[in-house]
Amino acid sequence: PYTAAEVGVIVGIEAYEVGTIAQRLDLKASYDESSNRYTRNVRVKDHAGKFTHKWLYSREGVREIGRFLELED
């Protein structure tokens, strides 16, 4: 699994844009479903010790984001 930052490096965009595109393409797993074939929603501790949600992207999710960016060019 890849973080949004890692996906961004792979496809050449910022991590925030990865999340925006994933939402636009409906790739992100919901909080209720926890995971799907594109992403997995995990709970992690932030720097202040509070729990937050983070989406990890599968290879298939990375491919879908890459395809979207190719179509945008």
The 10s digit of each residue's pLDDT in 13-42 is: 999 999 999 999 999 988 888 899 999 999
Closest CA to 21 of 8, 34, 37: 8
Going by C-alpha positions, the residue among 61, 53, 52 that lies closest to residue 26 is 61
pTM score of the predicted model: 0.86
Percent of the chain at pLDDT above 90?
78
Do residues 55 and 40 touch, judged by C-beta distance below 8 A? yes
Please check whether residue 65 is in contact with residue 11, taking contact to mean a CB–CB distance below 8 angstroms.
yes
